Structures are given as structure tokens and as C-alpha cells.
Chain A
Amino acid sequence: MPVTNDDVRHVAALARLGVNEARLPALVAELNGILAHMEVLAQVKTAGITGATGVGAGGTPLREDRGDPIPLARPVEDIAPRVRHGFFLVPRLDSHGALGASVDDE
């Protein structure tokens, strides 16, 4: 079933991509052109075949479920605009500027 304008609007919204309406027909044509080449896969018999999840010789190696320290070149305080209680404070949106006190305003 070919991709439609609405399909592209839908996936663009899922992907948080703004798509210009004027560009929409070209994108629909491009995606349909690409997906037409994928139809060949439907002819392949895959009953009972497990999807590949790793391609290492012995599968993906496992490790203890903990994070190793990240060797940062600079202290974390130098990376973010601000840090409080170990959390990064990012600049607030312009459109939220009037919604009361910001953590940036302390």
C-alpha cells in the first residue's frame, strides 16, 4: 500500500520533524520509490527464522549491569549551562519565559 501524505505527516509527527507542506508531495514520492524496492523481501520465506539481533561471532557480549565512569575531559559543571543537585539545567524555552520563576532565575 503506497505511502500517503497523511502517512508522512503522521511519521513526521512521531519523529518530531516539521515537514513543510510544499515539500510533502516530493517526500511521498521519494519514500514510495524507496519502499517499492523493499517489496522483494515479501517474497522471501522466513517462517521459523529468528530476526538478527546481533552479528558478533559469539553473540553480543554481556557485562555487569552497571555504568562505568565516563572519562570526561572537563568537569561536568563546564559542560552544561548550569548544574543543580547533579542535574543539568538547560535554557528554558522562550515561549515559557512568562510562566513564573525559572530555575535559571535563581
Chain B
Amino acid sequence: MSDPSLPVASGAAARLREAIVAGSTTPADAVTASMQRTREVGAGRDRLNIVLWSDPDAALAEARAAARVVERGGTPGALHGVPVMVKDNIATITLPTTCGSRILEGYVSPYEATAVQRLRNAGAIVIGKTNCDEFAMGSSTEYSAWGPARNPVDPSRVPGGSSGGSAAAVAAGLVPIALGSETGGSVRQPAAFCGVVGVKPTYGRVSRWGLVAFASSLDQVGVFGRTVEDAALGLEVIAGHDPLDSTSATASVPSCRGAANESIAGLTIGRPKEYYPESLDPRIRGRCDRALEILQRLGASVEEVSLPHTELAIPVYYIIAPAEASSNLARFDGVRYGPRLEADGLRAMYEATRSGGFGPEVTRRILLGTYVLSAGYYDAYYRKAQQVRTIIAQDFRSVFEDGVDLLFTPTTPTPAFPLGSVSDPYDMYLSDIFTATANLAGVPAMSVPIGRVDGLPIGGQIIAPHFLEARMFAAAFALERALADEAHR
């Protein structure tokens, strides 16, 4: 039996693969250790509710098959034998894909997401699907039809969302790498709340094929890792052009792990003043300033910059995302997917199925999105939001063209909040206030742990220009090394 702690160790995925390749453990042992850890921490539906769907026997069979391929002379992939988990809105052929929604209860996709296929091609073993807010609409994983997930750091608090289950799975040491999805911060915010690394790549860097669409101009598959190295490895595996996604970029994929050896000396790091408002918790401000001091000590220069339209990001985001969602979710009507609620006639069946299948937040966003697209309101809301989105993207372009190499901000305005403590929908939306801008502009961004406040993790956000993930990772590696244990206390 392998060391069950191995998957949670620093740089775990790469080291676990090395141990498997060296013959000191096996893929089946790694899967068994992850399953054991899942039981130990109570990650199932009855306690933390992190993992929604798993099939241990199938995962073990897959692990043994992976071992046989290598025994017969096959080349071990970059994630050979490494257990991973995948958010429930990313299509897998071996486990259900319900998007945390009753309207997709029991649905198993007939095709696999490209990102998942690439994980498998690299030798990873998909051992579970993780809880999330319904159709990725939420910031706490409380809007899952299968009940809220809990933060393993403090189970009375949320893990963030919408990819809260994936962040919690990595934080609890179930797997070293997990996939999530981002529309307005759904990887970075839960990463910050759970004390792990979360990456939103450049729009187009990772194929969206098989990611159930929420808001197509914003959606991206993202990666969680317990360390910067694991996140870098995961991104390298899933990134790259995919002809099945028309928005997939053809840009070559850099070595994100190679960025570990890059110096950040000479880089200019912007501290956008709009992300450090007077109202920001001084302890979070202090942690961010400490991180900036470290980056400066390592040779970067820090300068205050302005992204003047930041305060408009949430209004813009919560017009554009629901508008796109109202269109994307029209397909869930009781005919093609999931359970059907019978009623008298076709329209009544649609209405009964959709009303019974969608939860309150999804219903609210579909109504909001339909409203802002409807005659008489389209220009005032939707067209206006698209124009202001152009201005927000221009803010980023300007600051990067003026010589700033990276931006550093808090990932969230608060640490993880208690379950049930945020009841006003707009207050929940404000959780994304520092993250939604990167989605609107399409630039890459990541959250790294930078310490704790009242024992709760907080994250620092690094934002880079389009397709410069390697530069972003260079700063993340440097910060992780310099902070060491301080990042988690």
C-alpha cells in the first residue's frame, strides 16, 4: 500500500507519478489512498458533501488498466496514475453530469469533455464528480440541488463557488488536482476560501468542449492544485487548441512548470487602487501588501495603477451572464435531457419541467436574462453592458500597454462566510467583485494562498495579459516559495 498522505504532499501530482513510474507504488494504490481519504474526511453526501458521484470499482479497474499499459512498454503520461476529480458540469462518460441540478438528474454524457479526455490521455484516473452551484450559478455551492458543500477548513462555512466541491476536494487532500469552471470567479474565489491554488486561463486557452454552457463568452475550464506546481501541471495537460471548440485558440502552450525557474526581477507589478477600497478588511489588505513586499524584495517593482471602471464589473457581469444563460439553458425542456414533468400540452410540459427542475438562483437568472434581452430593455441593459464590457477590457489593455507586466489584488473581499449567512442575491454577487473583471476582459488570472484571517484562508490574485500564463506562474511560484508556511497560517 502506498503512503496515503502522498496525494496531499507538496508537489504531489508530479511526485506521485514519479513514485508510480519508479515502481514504489501503483495507480491502484493511489486511487485506494484517495478513496480512503474521502471516507476519512467525510467528503460524501452525508457530511462535507464535496463528492457527488463516484464509482470506486471502475476507478480501480481504470487504474489497473493504466498500470498494464505501462508494464507492456507504454510511455507513462504526465499524470500517470494520478487520481483527479472533475466538477459536475464537465462532461464525463463514466460518471453522471448533472450540473448540480435536478433537471439533469441521472444524465450521463455520451461524449467526454476535451479537458477530461486530455487528463485521461495523460494517465490521470477520474475518481469523482464534485458538487457545485446549479449550472455554476453561485458563489458558495449552497445552490446545488444536492445540498450545500462545506469547507473542509471550517465545515460551518461555505467552500465558495461555484466550483466549491473541486476546491474542497483538493483542500481536503482527496486529490492533488481537480477541474472546475470559471464564468465570473468560480475557480479563484473557492480556491481562496479553501486555501488552494486556482487558475482561470486566458479565454480560448482551454477547450470548452463538454463544459455545459452557462455564459459562453465568459466560461472557461480551470484547474485547482494544492500547490502552484500541481496547478501548472494540470493546466499544461488540458490546454491547447481543440477543433471541437470554435473559440479555442491556436496559440502554443507554454511550459507553466518551467516558470518555476524564471526570475521575476525586473517585472512591474501593478496594484490597482480600485481593488483596495477603504472598506477592504485591513487584515486582507495587510496580507496583500505583505505579498507585494515579498515580490518587491525578489526584484519586481510595484506601482499603483488604476482600472477605473472596476466598480461597473458586477452590474455588467450580472446582465451579460444571465442573458447568455437564458439562451443556453433553453435546451433543458424535458424533451432532450433529464426527467420530464408531464402536464396538459407541450408548453405546459416545458413550464412544469423547467420550473420543477431548476432551483431558485437559476430561475432568477433566467428571468433576469430574458428580461434584459426583451424588447424595450435590450438597449438599456444588454447593449449598454456589452459596451461597458469593452471599456473594462480596455482598462486592462491600457495598463498592460503602459508597461505593467502583472497585477496583484485580493481574490475576495472577505474570507469564507458561514453557510446561510448571505441571503440577498446581490450581496452574493458581490463575492465576485475582484474576479469578474478578468472574465469580462478574457485575461488569465489565478489565486494563490497568502495567509489566514481568523484561521480562514485568503487568496491573492495575480492577473496577466492574454496568453501570458507562464509569466503569471513565475510570480506565483516565487510568492509560494517565499511565503512558505506563512501562506497557510
Any B CB within 8 A of the CB of A93: yes
One of A38, A57, A93, A95 near B466 (C-beta < 8 A): A57
B 349-368 to A, binary, CB cutoff 8 A, 1 in contact else 0 = 11110110010000110111
Chain A residue at minimum C-beta to C-beta distance from B335: A90
- Flag if A16 contacts B333 (CB, 8 Å): yes
Q: Which residues in A have their C-beta under 8 angstroms from that of B411?
A: none
One of B111, B315, B330, B425 near A40 (C-beta < 8 A): B315
- Flag if B387 contacts A33 (CB, 8 Å): no
- Flag if A18 contacts B250 (CB, 8 Å): no
Any A CB within 8 A of the CB of B342: yes
Q: Which residues in B have their C-beta under 8 angstroms from that of A35?
A: 368, 371, 381
- Flag if B380 contacts A42 (CB, 8 Å): yes
* Chain A proximity of B55: nearest CB distance (Å): 15
- Flag if B318 contacts A72 (CB, 8 Å): no
- Flag if A56 contacts B204 (CB, 8 Å): yes
Task: Give the interface size bracket for B toward A.
Answer: 35 or more
- Given contacts A15-B326, A94-B342, whether A60 and B349 have CB atoms under 8 Å apart is no
Q: How far is the CA of A71 from the CA of B469 in the complex (A)?
A: 29
* Chain A proximity of B380: nearest CB distance (Å): 7
- Flag if B244 contacts A34 (CB, 8 Å): no
- Given contacts A16-B350, A34-B318, A61-B248, whether A52 and B364 have CB atoms under 8 Å apart is no
* Chain A proximity of B221: nearest CB distance (Å): 15
Interface size of A in residues (CB-CB distance below 8 Å): 53
Q: Which residues in A have their C-beta under 8 angstroms from that of B319?
A: 38, 41
Q: Which residues in A have their C-beta under 8 angstroms from that of B111?
A: 70-73
- Flag if A79 contacts B110 (CB, 8 Å): yes
- Flag if B425 contacts A34 (CB, 8 Å): yes
Any B CB within 8 A of the CB of A55: yes
Q: Which residues in B have their C-beta under 8 angstroms from that of A63?
A: 243, 246
- Flag if B467 contacts A31 (CB, 8 Å): no
- Flag if A33 contacts B354 (CB, 8 Å): no
Any B CB within 8 A of the CB of A101: no
- Flag if B315 contacts A57 (CB, 8 Å): no
Q: Which residues in B have their C-beta under 8 angstroms from that of A17?
A: 351, 354-355, 358, 363, 366-367
Q: Which residues in B have their C-beta under 8 angstroms from that of A76?
A: 110
The interface centre, meaning the residue of B385, B387, B440 with most chain A CB atoms within 10 A of its CB, is B387
Q: CB within 8 Å of B: which residues of A?
A: 3, 7-8, 10-12, 14-20, 27, 30-31, 33-35, 37-38, 40-42, 44, 46, 49-57, 60-61, 63, 68, 70-74, 76, 78-79, 88, 90-91, 93-95
Q: Which 3 A-B pairs have the closest CB atoms?
A: A55-B442, A51-B386, A18-B351
